[in-house]
A and B are shown apart, each in its own frame.
Chain A
């Protein structure tokens, strides 16, 4: 009897089939299953039929989407990572580690020591789907992306944790004109970082590594990044032929061992009979009950239209608005009465400058009799486009949208804009922006997500959303970020949902996200009666309908919903016009226009920013990517020396380094709470005649050196940076490192207790448990209560005695005394600077920004230079602890037992009692405690009639979104007459 083994792998996007006999692979093939797993599996089986028809077969199914089919067709199932593990163990027993990247999964198997098989957790960053998404963002095929990456000169830092984060980093690079080749390689590097940081979680990837899965088989550039980053030579980096179908092969391998023998005909018959499992997904009501409903809906919305005029017959003044968004470029040319003369809306194809150039030539050609009187740009690419084409004005996109919305509904109370990548909403009170809500870095599951998803279904976005309109049973896909939605879709498909149902469900999810994640309403009354919706995504009727259904409101969708930003910019240009004609390049200049892009490092300061230099045809230059305006583009941003308490704190901390190398040294890692306590420990150890090494501020090089030992990639960025800080200290070879566990913070008597957050309190435990590098350096992390001097004395004495010669209790006592007085000196000195800042603001009539964060937010790597940005925008900046001391603790409705929180609450009180002060809260992504403080601070500020602005910050290094928020704040203040 001849035996064949059939392995079937049904993954998130493809179905694969492998047939083996006597250890030989006789057949292997894959198809995209587009959610039709049963049909595609049968198609593959039938194709392979001639090979197996006269043999006995043993079959096994594997893969994340294969379980349903396995149970309904009664074919044994094997978990995919396990299947791979079994295969590699038998084929290459000397393998140490397997790294497998699939469509949406990333897996790693460690063989040496304890067998350890892991899969990516809740995050699908760094997988095939991620690479595809990034390729489509850059408007290239995945193959082209690979080609490009091979010609890279440099790598940009791109956040690796999640696709959405990465996108936020990549978009500005594209918009700023960075080389595609470099971005491509940077995307691959992000995948590598994700694998190392997210999967290995502290375990080292070393020895002989087997790389499996489609992305690693096909993408040479990705392989290169992996081998280079892991420092592997050819012997240690294995890319076997079976890499692209390893799971299917593993399933065949396991089938041989464990499945019973049967006929292929029986299996095919069972598969054909297999029913989709009863639908268990949570369903939503249909968007439209009938065609009639839809017609009525369309009729209602057709009313919100603008006047139009033919550009060819128009003569007079015209105003141009350009909205250079994250993924699309929009233009609107309007006449003296706001009538539309010309519009344009298209993907910017990763190169907005050439798209805009083409359009401008077009417009100049059409406008022979029309005087283009003023032009304004807005959106992500505002500065670039404005500089490239010599436009007259630039304005922040939120203002542009409000301008346009008022044109349609002068009483507009609420405006929501869902674009390709952002959700922006704001409330409008007395004609001015009252409250801005932007989607935070995490939930950008907006238009581009729908688009990418349509592509995977082989459909255009129009077609994809249209088929959802009449779905009988839209699937409820939840309201989290895109990555989670991918898994929800997978589950719905498993449960038999049709493409129509999924399309409708996704439209509802976008709205869910906006309502619950961004606006967080629980009652439509909070939105007011006059709601204007806009942004390209609302052109999609399914999305619009779902918004109306979920809010129970009929809303206004201007017919030009997709180009509202551009329209608003044009209105702005009209309003602000200051000369007869616009300074826009002439037709001839436009035709001669070309632009090149180069990257360089700014040598202006120790930041050494990676900058992108755009050179234009007439020798003008525009530089982007720089954090400050010191060196480039002078004159554009205001350079000033307004007081900045954040900078003062940094100055003070830098002065603590001690250069007398003859003394014994103690390493105190500058991170988390040590930012505030460094002066304390400096005073303490100086008394013991020891030199304190802090390692200085966090930097990316040591961050990546410490990254290998981070056990939880969802911890906040400031905590994760601690690993790098420790690495730095170890290199300095101190006599020991001191980093105490502190359940309690300093008791400032402002609240019922004075806790630290769990991460700040116990991070030393994580360092101790995960950093092998510490072997050889004594690591002291006693549990101390800083408010209890007696305990401090005895614990510190006990802990330090073995490491500090001739230590006596008396010295510890006097050291503590000095510690407290140095701490007080530090706090007083900063407080004085703060008071001076407020006085300076009063004298010079400047607005004050209270940057309310935690002590570690002064680190330039953590705050990405936000304090300096605020200075450039014309604020005097003070910190929350300073502001808190100038006000009384307000009564709060939450249980307040954290020292840092109390300061933030009190600083909000300060803002309420100080007309010229505004509060901007810095929140590190993943900070669970700030989920509590944000609502409370918002409420405190609301009671004082103040705006609340929150900035969520993470590894993302671009200031794009932050700038929008702060500029929107400035423009809202202007509208409210507060600035």
Chain B
């Protein structure tokens, strides 16, 4: 099938719709796209209409994320808000062995069935899968996106550390909004003010520190899982909100980990199979770029506040050892294991592992490693929750409540000691 290209001419006239995967991060990414001359719009539509559109246009055995993503696009296109002849859709594509690499063909098929096959779909990928004359990710864009991830992670982490404790409701969200604005304008500058960007880590931490908070000991709950279901409230029935309403603190390992995972696989493939040595070197450089900044973040947070900084994933080998080989690179692969290990090491013993029902890689990396994880970490309280259009909130929440009951009991015992 010939695909519809996103041409140079379209660049000025077309609106590019982005699916909403991470509310905080993608807001900044949307801005970056705009800076580079793309008229990007982050979709905000949610609810049952999105799910029904997904069910209607996607094979029902396909995974939940693609149903939601396609559902969100098709629902938005049907809303009348956009001129369907002046709109393009953007989606990430990993190119891995997981079926997720087929989201784009699935989206195209849905467009065809809906009679809108003329809408160009842009693949955002690092595997060189599909090129478009009117769309190019440049190095400065990548750099800015990396910053967006780092800052997004920081804001998300501080937000979760404040929300359950804030004395005046709304103060935390206000700070998140404020800093998102500032960041966007900072990243909009033609030449990045590196010094300012570096100083901002501490300023943000200090500003959040100033939020008046109530002292209380409540369970911390780590959230790991399939990337879309993990981050998107649409995909996980707003699990963060639920955990907050149950008086616990969500701990969400950041998006930057996925970048590290992706880059580290370049290095691991080289080690295991002696593949692409040059690419491996590039990956190493990129990881260094990120690590330098994440350790700056960690340092700044420690110096300027009492918060726990988002931990950079550094020792992959150590985190995964005894559980899984680092050659497992489909879906979330070894990253999922590393994140759970990291959470357990940092004292977050309660972990929710979220995944779409029937997620293939998670048979291996989530359910497959649980036994050893529990055995080696006696205090671990891990629950796996499946998401799909038929799953009800009641059942999901009941399981979360069971996890929280155990968490509170453990907390009581620890406090006694």
Point out residues on A near B: beta carbons under 8 Å.
64, 67, 78-79, 81-82, 113-117, 119, 121-122, 201-203, 282, 476, 478-481, 484-485, 487-488, 490-491, 494, 516-517, 520, 522-523, 711-712, 714-715, 719, 741, 743, 753, 755-759, 761-763, 765-766, 769-770, 781, 783, 785, 788, 790-791, 795, 891, 893-895, 897-898, 926, 928-932, 934-935
Q: How far is the CA of A743 from the CA of B167 in the complex (A)?
A: 51
8 A-B pairs (CB sep. < 8 Å): A82-B402, A121-B384, A121-B386, A201-B370, A765-B368, A769-B372, A783-B273, A791-B273
Nearest B residue to A709 via CB reads B371
Q: How far is the CA of A934 from the CA of B108 in the complex (A)?
A: 16
Q: Once the chains bind, are B129 and A711 in contact (CB under 8 Å)?
A: no
Q: Once the chains bind, are B360 and A895 in contact (CB under 8 Å)?
A: no
Q: Once the chains bind, are B358 and A928 in contact (CB under 8 Å)?
A: yes
Q: Return chain B residues, CB-CB under 8 Å to A116.
A: 374
Q: Which 3 A-B pairs have the closest CB atoms?
A: A480-B390, A755-B97, A712-B367
Q: How far is the CA of A894 from the CA of B103 in the complex (A)?
A: 9
User: Shortest distance in angstroms between A739's beta carbon and chain B's nearest beta carbon?
Assistant: 13
**Interface residues in B12-63 (C-beta closer than 8 Å to A):** 48, 55-57, 59-63
User: Shortest distance in angstroms between A512's beta carbon and chain B's nearest beta carbon?
Assistant: 8
Q: Once the chains bind, are A516 and B391 in contact (CB under 8 Å)?
A: no
Q: How far is the CA of A715 from the CA of B98 in the complex (A)?
A: 15
On whether A741 and B327 interact (CB within 8 A), knowing A711-B371, A932-B99, the answer reads: yes
Produce 1/0 per residue, B283-302, CB < 8 A to A.
00000000000000000000
Q: How far is the CA of A689 from the CA of B380 in the complex (A)?
A: 47
Q: How far is the CA of A926 from the CA of B357 in the complex (A)?
A: 10
Q: Once the chains bind, are A931 and B62 in contact (CB under 8 Å)?
A: yes
Q: How far is the CA of A851 from the CA of B401 in the complex (A)?
A: 47
With beta carbons under 8 angstroms apart, the residue of A117, A201, A895 that contacts B102 is: A895
Q: How far is the CA of A715 from the CA of B366 in the complex (A)?
A: 12
Q: Once the chains bind, are B360 and A929 in contact (CB under 8 Å)?
A: yes
Nearest B residue to A116 via CB reads B374
Q: Return chain A residues, CB-CB under 8 Å to B363.
A: 711-712, 714-715, 719, 758-759, 766
Q: Once the chains bind, are B389 and A769 in contact (CB under 8 Å)?
A: no
Nearest B residue to A509 via CB reads B390
Determine, out of B151-159, B199-207, B392-400, the stretch whose residues face the partner at the interface.
B392-400
Q: How far is the CA of A491 from the CA of B390 in the complex (A)?
A: 12
Beyond the given pairs A81-B405, A491-B393, 16 more chain A to chain B contacts, judged by CB atoms under 8 angstroms and listed by A's residue number, are A79-B401, A82-B402, A117-B406, A202-B370, A479-B55, A481-B390, A520-B59, A712-B362, A712-B367, A753-B97, A788-B275, A894-B102, A895-B104, A897-B97, A928-B358, A931-B62
Q: How far is the CA of A928 from the CA of B59 in the complex (A)?
A: 11
Q: Once the chains bind, are B398 and A119 in contact (CB under 8 Å)?
A: yes
Q: Once the chains bind, are A119 and B364 in contact (CB under 8 Å)?
A: no
Q: Return chain B residues, CB-CB under 8 Å to A488.
A: 390, 392
**Interface residues in B336-394 (C-beta closer than 8 Å to A):** 357-365, 367-372, 374-375, 377-380, 384, 386, 388-394
Interface magnitude class on chain B: 35 or more
Please tell me if B272 contacts chain A, counting CB pairs below 8 Å: yes
Q: Return chain B residues, CB-CB under 8 Å to A712.
A: 362-363, 367-368
Q: Once the chains bind, are B62 and A932 in contact (CB under 8 Å)?
A: yes
Q: Return chain A residues, CB-CB under 8 Å to B48.
A: 282, 476
Q: Once the chains bind, are B109 and A935 in contact (CB under 8 Å)?
A: yes
Q: Once the chains bind, are A516 and B367 in contact (CB under 8 Å)?
A: no
Q: Once the chains bind, are A478 and B389 in contact (CB under 8 Å)?
A: yes
Q: Once the chains bind, are A484 and B392 in contact (CB under 8 Å)?
A: yes
Q: How far is the CA of A637 from the CA of B361 in the complex (A)?
A: 43
User: Shortest distance in angstroms between B38's beta carbon and chain A's nearest beta carbon?
Assistant: 24
Q: Return chain A residues, CB-CB under 8 Å to B372.
A: 769
Q: How far is the CA of A203 from the CA of B373 in the complex (A)?
A: 12
Nearest B residue to A78 via CB reads B405
Q: Once the chains bind, are B380 and A757 in contact (CB under 8 Å)?
A: no
Q: Once the chains bind, are B324 and A64 in contact (CB under 8 Å)?
A: no
With beta carbons under 8 angstroms apart, the residue of A115, A487, A491, A928 that contacts B99 is: A928
Q: Return chain B residues, CB-CB under 8 Å to A516.
A: 55-56, 60
Produce 1/0 per residue, B91-113, CB < 8 A to A.
00101111101101110110001
Q: Return chain B residues, CB-CB under 8 Å to A781.
A: 325
Q: Once the chains bind, are B378 and A893 in contact (CB under 8 Å)?
A: no
Q: Once the chains bind, are B61 and A770 in contact (CB under 8 Å)?
A: no
Q: How far is the CA of A488 from the CA of B388 in the complex (A)?
A: 13
Q: Return chain A residues, CB-CB under 8 Å to B390.
A: 478-481, 484-485, 488
Please tell me if B135 contacts chain A, counting CB pairs below 8 Å: no
Q: How far is the CA of A753 from the CA of B389 in the complex (A)?
A: 31
Q: Once the chains bind, are B371 and A765 in contact (CB under 8 Å)?
A: no
Please tell me if B328 contacts chain A, counting CB pairs below 8 Å: yes
User: Shortest distance in angstroms between A696's beta carbon and chain B's nearest beta carbon?
Assistant: 25
Q: Once the chains bind, are A484 and B391 in contact (CB under 8 Å)?
A: yes
Please tell me if B220 contacts chain A, counting CB pairs below 8 Å: no
Please tell me if B118 contacts chain A, counting CB pairs below 8 Å: no
Q: Once the chains bind, are B402 and A893 in contact (CB under 8 Å)?
A: no
Q: Once the chains bind, are A898 and B97 in contact (CB under 8 Å)?
A: yes
Q: Once the chains bind, are B364 and A759 in contact (CB under 8 Å)?
A: yes
Please tell me if B114 contacts chain A, counting CB pairs below 8 Å: yes
Please tell me if B274 contacts chain A, counting CB pairs below 8 Å: yes
Q: Once the chains bind, are A928 and B61 in contact (CB under 8 Å)?
A: yes
Q: Once the chains bind, are A202 and B360 in contact (CB under 8 Å)?
A: no
Q: Once the chains bind, are A770 and B97 in contact (CB under 8 Å)?
A: no
Q: Return chain A residues, CB-CB under 8 Å to B114.
A: 522
Q: How far is the CA of A928 from the CA of B327 in the complex (A)?
A: 21
Please tell me if B329 contacts chain A, counting CB pairs below 8 Å: yes
With beta carbons under 8 angstroms apart, the residue of A478, A762, A783 that contacts B364 is: A762
User: Shortest distance in angstroms between B269's beta carbon and chain A's nearest beta carbon?
Assistant: 9
Nearest B residue to A898 via CB reads B97
Q: Return chain A residues, CB-CB under 8 Å to B129.
A: 895
Please tell me if B1 contacts chain A, counting CB pairs below 8 Å: yes
Q: How far is the CA of A870 from the CA of B360 in the complex (A)?
A: 31
Nearest A residue to B410 via CB reads A115
Q: Return chain B residues, CB-CB under 8 Å to A897.
A: 95, 97, 101
Q: How far is the CA of A762 from the CA of B108 in the complex (A)?
A: 30
User: Shortest distance in angstroms between B413's beta carbon and chain A's nearest beta carbon?
Assistant: 11
Q: Once the chains bind, are A790 and B274 in contact (CB under 8 Å)?
A: yes
Please tell me if B179 contacts chain A, counting CB pairs below 8 Å: no
Q: Once the chains bind, are B105 and A895 in contact (CB under 8 Å)?
A: yes
With beta carbons under 8 angstroms apart, the residue of B62, B324, B405 that contacts A765 is: B324
Please tell me if B331 contacts chain A, counting CB pairs below 8 Å: yes
Please tell me if B116 contacts chain A, counting CB pairs below 8 Å: no
Q: Once the chains bind, are A931 and B109 in contact (CB under 8 Å)?
A: no
On whether A743 and B98 interact (CB within 8 A), knowing A712-B363, A769-B372, A770-B371, the answer reads: no
Please tell me if B323 contacts chain A, counting CB pairs below 8 Å: yes
Nearest B residue to A713 via CB reads B367
User: Shortest distance in angstroms between B123's beta carbon and chain A's nearest beta carbon?
Assistant: 9
Q: Return chain B residues, CB-CB under 8 Å to A487.
A: 391-392, 394-395
Q: Once the chains bind, are A762 and B370 in contact (CB under 8 Å)?
A: no
Q: Return chain B residues, CB-CB under 8 Å to A741.
A: 325, 327-328
User: Shortest distance in angstroms between A574's beta carbon and chain B's nearest beta carbon?
Assistant: 40
User: Shortest distance in angstroms between B98's beta carbon and chain A's nearest beta carbon?
Assistant: 6
Q: Once the chains bind, are B364 and A763 in contact (CB under 8 Å)?
A: yes
Q: Once the chains bind, are A119 and B402 in contact (CB under 8 Å)?
A: yes
Q: How far is the CA of A844 from the CA of B374 in the complex (A)?
A: 62
Q: Once the chains bind, are A479 and B389 in contact (CB under 8 Å)?
A: yes
Q: Return chain B residues, CB-CB under 8 Å to A891.
A: 1
Please tell me if B330 contacts chain A, counting CB pairs below 8 Å: yes
Q: How far is the CA of A520 from the CA of B61 in the complex (A)?
A: 11
Q: Once the chains bind, are A520 and B60 in contact (CB under 8 Å)?
A: yes
Q: Return chain B residues, CB-CB under 8 Å to A743.
A: 97, 327, 329-330
User: Shortest distance in angstroms between B369's beta carbon and chain A's nearest beta carbon?
Assistant: 6
Q: Return chain A residues, CB-CB under 8 Å to B93.
A: 895
With beta carbons under 8 angstroms apart, the residue of A494, A758, A769, A785 that contacts B369 is: A769
User: Shortest distance in angstroms between B327's beta carbon and chain A's nearest beta carbon?
Assistant: 4
Q: Return chain A residues, CB-CB under 8 Å to B379.
A: 114
Q: How far is the CA of A783 from the CA of B273 in the complex (A)?
A: 8
With beta carbons under 8 angstroms apart, the residue of B96, B374, B405 that contacts A82 is: B405
Q: Once the chains bind, are B360 and A759 in contact (CB under 8 Å)?
A: yes
Q: How far is the CA of A292 from the CA of B359 in the complex (A)?
A: 49
Q: Once the chains bind, are B358 and A714 in contact (CB under 8 Å)?
A: yes
With beta carbons under 8 angstroms apart, the residue of B105, B367, B386, B404 that contacts A893 is: B105
